[in-house]
Amino acid sequence: MTHARDPVSPPVALTIAGSDAGGGAGVQADLKAMTAHGVFGTAVVTATTAQNTRGIEDVHAVPADHVASQYEAVVEDFDVGAVKTGMLATAPIVETAADLLARLSAPVVVDPVMVAATGDRLLSPAAEDAYEGLIEGATLVTPNADEAAVLFGEPVETPADAEAAGRELVARGAEAALIKGGHLDEGGETVVDTLVVGDAKGSGGAGDAGDELGDCDDPTVVRFENPRVATDATHGSGCALSSAIAARLARGDPLREAVARAVDEMESAIRRGYDVGEGPGAVNPTAFGGDR
């Protein structure tokens, strides 16, 4: 006896990021977070990395023209509802991503992977500079404090600094900026994430960010506070968070709601993290999407 096929048609999201051999971050974490939200994840791999829970041993960047070929293969076949970018590795890849995404009407979440957990810079100055073009077309930029400092050009150590950095990123063209607070006041019991939303009028694709908060020349600032989890096992947290937001945008959630729900679920993803490998461990992307 045969069974009739009973397919589902989920929203589609795309990650443009590096591969983590250890599975805790990068494309692997992105796809897990998207699946947890009931979203079909597609992927453009920008680099392969030899890494695990203890750190990165080697990185091999993919040629920029192959990044473009992967992207075209996806968008020619799938109705992509949202995109997130992660590790872009080189200036040509950053520039290629910016050029390709400028032609896409779907929301774009830019996670600027620039600084390692050790504090080491991961990109050349040319690659850091190339992010300006990507930021201009972003629906949301999601740097941590260290990455915000690189983009802002000033130290980001307090929520007030985070707000200033977010305002600057919005002034440079991003519709919104989420400055993640995990590295702020690391001894405190509360994590404060700062969302700055600018005037999204006429933005297309993600204009509901401005519609929900009210179109305005002066950015709107929203702070999210959550208990800090006492652990160093935060590998993949930035990847999972930006992917969760992108997945929610692909599902049609307004920007502020997508950010608020993903930030709230981040605490659970860390608290219920994976205790694998000999390093601190990794976050659990499947803890996202609890409302679907």
- pLDDT averaged over 10-residue windows placed end to end, the chain, 292 residues: 91 97 96 97 96 90 98 98 96 96 97 76 85 95 93 92 96 97 75 88 38 55 92 92 98 97 94 93 89 69
Q: Is 292 a member of any domain?
A: no
pTM of the predicted model as reported, rounded to 2 decimal places = 0.91
Q: What does the CA dihedral 158, 162, 167, 172 come to, rounded to 10 degrees?
A: 130
Q: Is 3 a member of any domain?
A: no
What pLDDT score does 187 carry?
53
Q: Is 97 a member of any domain?
A: yes
Q: Is 4 a member of any domain?
A: no
Q: Is 5 a member of any domain?
A: no
Q: Is 1 a member of any domain?
A: no
Domain that holds residue 178: 12-286
What pLDDT score does 62 carry?
96
In the structure encoding, which two tokens stand for residue 241, read together? 């968070």
What pLDDT score does 212 carry?
40
Q: Is 70 a member of any domain?
A: yes
Q: How many domains does the chain divide into?
A: 1
What pLDDT score does 119 carry?
62
Neighbours of 172 (CB within 10 A): 16
What pLDDT score does 253 carry?
97
CA distances from 230 to 91, 117, 225, 233, 267 (A): 36, 16, 15, 9, 11
Q: Is 190 a member of any domain?
A: yes
What pLDDT score does 83 carry?
98
In CATH, what number is assigned to the domain containing residue 35? 3.40.1190.20
Spatial distance between the Cα atoms of 84 and 44, rounded to a whole number of angstroms: 10
